[in-house]
Structure 1
Amino acid sequence: MVKNQRHAVYYGLAAVLLWSTVATAFKLALNELSSLQLLFFASVFSWFFLACCLFKDKQYMLVLPAFLAHPWRYLKLGSINPFLYYLILFKAYELLPAQQAQALNYTWAITLSILAVPLLGQQLKKADIASLCFAYFGVLIISTKGQVTELNFESPLGVSLALLSTLLWALYWIFNTKNTDKPIISLFICFTIGLPLIAIVMSWQSAWLLPSTTGLFAAMYVGLFEMGITFVLWLIAMKKAENTAKISNLIFISPFLSLIFIYLFLGEQIHPTTPIGLGLIVTGLIIQKVATKKSK
């Protein structure tokens, strides 16, 4: 692919803009569907989109060999994403205001650095500890709405599930570190494995209800713009980039832009402590990013 930094910025901004809408989309979709139903129908739409991408690029013949080369790895990855990760994340969005759930979800990169110590044998550096302190103090501020000393959580279960989802997402990326297959092929295999698992739970919970037209469109939006199209846009941005660091920095716009969409389309009054806590989380992520760049 021909390098073009300006085009890379356009693709990167498009991806960031779409990612900024998903917290709002999750809450709107959950007004029509249960978290389990949203997961199933969104995953179906995402699976079809990824299949179309593979047929368009004539890469579908690589799917079975990739799976057979590492079946246990893909069974593990597919059980996490989309199955467990999104099931827990959507449940967290059911229990929490969107502004809280989306902010907590951004701490997954910090969780990744912590898990890398026991699982990848990496050392926890001073910058990692600093980023951890900033990020999780931000989590505490957002979760308690500033009542840090009282530890008065609006929904302890919702906060726990949101943080558990970051743990699962970090595990997914750690298990994926040795994966050399093309990202779209890997993601398609994961969704092919995850969909039957979701269907089994749907049957167990007797959740097979035909969604409303609104619910179906909401699931389609989540499936395409959280799990599918946005992922492809980001991949194109990174491939076209002459300087990938400048493109990856665009992601820091997303959580603040997301708050604007939450306010405009959900009507949630943004609590004064949310931007403060989110600022601390993003500060932690920036510290981690700068430290990683220096070490390289």
Structure 2
Amino acid sequence: MNARTKALLFGLATVAIWSTVASAFKLTLRHLDPLQLLLCACTASLTVLAAILAVRGRLGAALRVPARDMARCALLGALNPALYYMILFMAYDLLPAQEAQPLNHTWAITLTLLSVPLLGQRLRLVDAAAILVSYTGVLVISTHGNLQSMTFSDPLGVVLALGSTIIWALYWIYSTRSTLDPVTGLFLNFLFGLPIILAATLIFSELPPPSPAGMLGAAYVGVFEMGVTFALWLTAMKYAAMPDGGGTARVANLIFLSPFLSLVFIHFLVGEDILPSTLTGLGFIIAGNLLMRLGARRS
């Protein structure tokens, strides 16, 4: 297989896995509370990332990075996985998966907004239009299409879902300053984030019960949502960037398949009837993301 085919296969594998995680969140939250789910998932992810580094012969080096990089990873670990997934799992606990998943998909819009004060970037007219289109979709989804009454299905859940995008955007903005290998950086983030998650679980919840379904679901979330897909996506982008890889934009556009495939899994696995307002709102959100990407490509 040439680089183009490999990039496409790795990209499609990543998107297919990402499309299942919203269902995995919701199904596992039937057996564990958000903090218990996060504790088990983070442990599983840390194990997988350590194994990836060990196979590459980089695990020892990862534990000997300079103190300055260690300190940055500790701060980033407080954002992701600790704070980000705490807020995200609480949102999924309150909202139907078909609402939480599209709302979380607005993180790219949040990233653009935060890049203005934090990175000094300018907000272009096309960016403002993309933001307006995307947040119209947010309103459609969170009000079930009843825009006149502006009655939200679960106000706290909506706030948490949108709040998680702020944490995720902050994490990626500050991650740009890191010079570490991405897998090494993610491993250290989870290594420092795990004690925070454990402390929060002991204070606000309790250690997870011995539920086979809960443990299996948490392991799936940790291995695939937090671990393997990151390495798969990096591999896809690496092949896409090669001379015969077809370009990274071609692979990056595959990500827009994920939220729609996710609704299919949510319907058949979680048992939710997908509302017309969800499809309409998601269409607005995707259109906003595409508009922003188109504007960035032209500039």
Corresponding position of 1:228:
227
1:168 partner amino acid: I
CA offsets per residue over residues 82-104 of structure 1, 9 Å max, x none?
Answer: 00000000000000000000000
Q: What SS does structure 1 have at the residue aligned with 2:151?
A: coil
1:93 partner amino acid: Y
TM-score (norm 2): 0.96
Corresponding position of 1:24:
23
Is 1:257 the counterpart of 2:261? The answer is: yes
Query: Is the contact made by 2:69 and 2:178 (CA closer than 8 Å) also made in structure 1?
Result: no
For residues 287 and 135 of structure 1, the distance between their equivalents in structure 2, rounded to whole angstroms, comes to 10
Query: Is the contact made by 1:80 and 1:172 (CA closer than 8 Å) also made in structure 2?
Result: yes
Corresponding position of 1:272:
276
Query: Is the contact made by 1:42 and 1:224 (CA closer than 8 Å) also made in structure 2?
Result: yes
Q: What SS does structure 2 have at the residue aligned with 1:227?
A: helix
1:1-296 to 2 correspondence within 5 Å? 4-66=3-65, 68-241=67-240, 242=245, 243-295=247-299
Give the 3 Å change call, closer, same or farther, for CA 109–206 of structure 1 in structure 2. Answer: closer
For residues 34 and 13 of structure 1, the distance between their equivalents in structure 2, rounded to whole angstroms, comes to 31
Query: Is the contact made by 2:130 and 2:289 (CA closer than 8 Å) also made in structure 1?
Result: yes
CA offsets per residue over residues 36-88 of structure 1, 9 Å max, x none?
Answer: 00000000000000000010001113213435232332222000000000000
CA offsets per residue over residues 222-253 of structure 1, 9 Å max, x none?
Answer: 00110011111111100111211000000000
My pick for the range that moved more, 229-238 or 44-53, is 229-238
Give the 3 Å change call, closer, same or farther, for CA 216–247 of structure 1 in structure 2. Answer: same
For residues 125 and 161 of structure 1, the distance between their equivalents in structure 2, rounded to whole angstroms, comes to 28
For residues 179 and 24 of structure 1, the distance between their equivalents in structure 2, rounded to whole angstroms, comes to 32
Query: Is the contact made by 2:70 and 2:188 (CA closer than 8 Å) also made in structure 1?
Result: no
Offset, 1:293: 1.6
For residues 154 and 58 of structure 1, the distance between their equivalents in structure 2, rounded to whole angstroms, comes to 49
For residues 66 and 86 of structure 2, the distance between their equivalents in structure 1, rounded to whole angstroms, comes to 24
For residues 250 and 196 of structure 1, the distance between their equivalents in structure 2, rounded to whole angstroms, comes to 35
For residues 114 and 49 of structure 1, the distance between their equivalents in structure 2, rounded to whole angstroms, comes to 33
Aligned length: 294
For residues 283 and 18 of structure 1, the distance between their equivalents in structure 2, rounded to whole angstroms, comes to 23
Offset, 1:206: 4.4
1:259 partner amino acid: L
2:136 partner amino acid: F
Q: What SS does structure 2 have at the residue aligned with 1:229?
A: helix
Query: Is the contact made by 1:42 and 1:223 (CA closer than 8 Å) also made in structure 2?
Result: yes
Cα-Cα RMSD: 1.2
Q: What SS does structure 2 have at the residue aligned with 1:58?
A: coil
For residues 135 and 213 of structure 1, the distance between their equivalents in structure 2, rounded to whole angstroms, comes to 39
Unaligned runs of 5+ in 2: none
Q: What SS does structure 2 have at the residue aligned with 1:178?
A: coil
1:190 partner amino acid: N
1:285 partner amino acid: N
Give the 3 Å change call, closer, same or farther, for CA 67–111 of structure 1 in structure 2. Answer: farther
Query: Is the contact made by 1:3 and 1:239 (CA closer than 8 Å) also made in structure 2?
Result: no
